[in-house]
């Protein structure tokens, strides 16, 4: 093997897990937020870390199960694991991105598992700089027949909102306190992205609810917004439905 592969590992054996994540219900109960039991669900946690070594991506792709590498299309090895169900993007620089996790702890666990997988291929791995980059959550107004007049919402909140239906079926709402981007759909679905913590997801959802409830209407039973809004979001970002 090339000289960059070393059988002596500096991968940390200590499990430096993040503090326990507070459940949504407990968090809102403690903060006395009247959200009527309608909590947004965490759909995707994106995290990054550094393995602190240069990697031969062709070598990794040839020796790691469930690995894909198409350098002409994307400059990273894509590795999927089942538990927790996540996708890792591993770059030659040693940088790694984890996506598809359902919690911050799952993202960290997936990052460590993938670091171990790389380590077993003979690389001198050191797990560093783990960071949550983005959390995506989704919620709805509650009742199946509650919709939102997003055209009127976009008109009245044009300083924060934009709606271009020929490009994307939802309204894009930029919230600045807390800082997040919300995708709001006719059918009453709301996707929240751009958050670094789940508390930001809950705060943004709580803050937008009284706004969107000012624009009620009853949507058709079967509309485009009744599809999986997370998949719609992924497609808008150029990502696959299943990460």
Mind listing the pLDDT tens digit for each residue in 124-156? 999 999 999 999 999 988 666 688 999 999 999
- Residue 183: per-residue pLDDT: 96
Q: Which residue has 């947004």 as its token pair?
A: 40
Mind listing the pLDDT tens digit for each residue in 101-132? 999 999 999 999 999 999 999 999 999 999 99
- Strand order, beta sheet including 171-176: 67-68, 76-82, 85-91, 95-101, 41-50, 128-140, 189-195, 179-184, 171-176, 161-162
User: What's the mean pLDDT when you consider all of the chain?
Assistant: 81
Q: By CB neighbour count within 10 A (0-12 exposed, 13-18 middle, 19+ buried), where does 181 fall?
A: middle
- Residue 121: per-residue pLDDT: 93
- Residue 23: per-residue pLDDT: 38
Question: Does residue 194 contact residue 137 with C-beta atoms inside 8 Å?
Answer: no
Question: Does residue 150 contact residue 159 with C-beta atoms inside 8 Å?
Answer: no
With a cut of 50, say whether residue 21 has pLDDT above it. Answer: no
Q: Which two structure tokens, joined as six digits, stand for 21?
A: 């994540």
- Please list, in sequence order, all residues whose beta carbon lies within 8 angstroms of the beta carbon of residue 181, skipping any fewer than 6 positions away: 172, 173, 174, 175, 192, 193, 194
How far apart are the C-alpha atoms of 155 and 157, rounded to whole Å? 6
Considering only residues 203 and 239, tell me which one the structure prediction assigns the higher pLDDT.
Answer: 203
Question: Does residue 28 contact residue 81 with C-beta atoms inside 8 Å?
Answer: no
Query: Among 23-37, 56-70, 170-184, where is mean pLDDT lowest?
Result: 23-37
Q: Which two structure tokens, joined as six digits, stand for 19?
A: 């503090």
> pTM value?
0.75
């Amino acid at each position: 093997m090339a000289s960059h592969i070393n059988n002596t590992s500096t991968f940390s054996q200590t499990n430096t897990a993040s503090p326990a994540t507070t459940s949504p219900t407990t968090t809102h109960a403690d903060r006395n937020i009247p959200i009527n039991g309608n909590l947004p669900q965490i759909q995707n946690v994106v995290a990054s870390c550094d393995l602190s070594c240069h990697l031969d991506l062709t070598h990794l792709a040839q020796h790691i199960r469930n690995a894909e590498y198409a350098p002409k299309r994307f400059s990273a090895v894509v590795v999927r694991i089942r538990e927790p169900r996540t996708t890792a993007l591993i770059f030659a620089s040693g940088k790694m991105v984890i996506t598809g996790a359902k919690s911050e702890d799952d993202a960290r666990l997936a990052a460590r598992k993938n670091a171990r997988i790389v380590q077993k291929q003979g690389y001198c791995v050191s797990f560093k700089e783990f960071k949550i980059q983005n959390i995506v959550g989704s919620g709805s107004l509650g009742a199946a027949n509650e919709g939102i007049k997003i055209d009127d919402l976009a008109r009245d909140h044009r300083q924060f909102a934009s709606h271009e239906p020929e490009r994307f079926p939802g309204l894009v709402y930029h919230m600045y306190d807390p800082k997040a981007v919300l995708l709001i759909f006719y059918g009453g679905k709301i996707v929240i992205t751009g958050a670094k913590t789940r508390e930001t997801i809950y705060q943004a959802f709580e803050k937008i609810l009284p706004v969107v409830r000012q624009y009620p209407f009853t949507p058709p039973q079967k509309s485009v917004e009744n599809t999986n809004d997370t998949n719609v979001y992924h497609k808008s970002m150029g990502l696959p439905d299943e990460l």
